[in-house]
Amino acid sequence: MLLGLKKGDSSPNVGLLQAMLNFSGFPCGAQDNDYGPKTAAAVLKMRQAFDHQATSGDSLDANGVENLFRAHARASHH
């Protein structure tokens, strides 16, 4: 489950998040299953692409998950 992931988490779900970010054009480095600074920065960039008010990528709320799937779908069609 992606909802609720946050900086400091380490799990296969974080790896899925990283894979989706990388595929969607928001590079976060290696898929290492750790939600560290690079993943947080990529989440912030992804969130800002859809919500110019976003100021943090330290966690993935429902809006962030929705934006991630929108970004992934957009990348899948290119």
pLDDT tens per residue across span 13-55: 999 999 999 999 999 999 999 999 999 999 999 999 998 888 9
Which residues touch 77 (CB under 8 Å, ≥6 apart)?
Answer: none
Q: What pLDDT is recorded for position 71?
A: 94
Find the mean pLDDT for residues 60-78. 91
Packing angle, helices 12-23 and 37-50, rounded to 10: 50
C-alpha 66/C-alpha 56 separation (Å) is 16
**Is 78's pLDDT higher than 80?**
no
Alpha helices in 5-56 (DSSP H): 12-23, 37-50
**Is 3's pLDDT higher than 80?**
yes
Q: What pLDDT is recorded for position 51?
A: 85
CA angle 34, 37, 20 (to 5 degrees): 60
Structure tokens given for 70: 């929108």
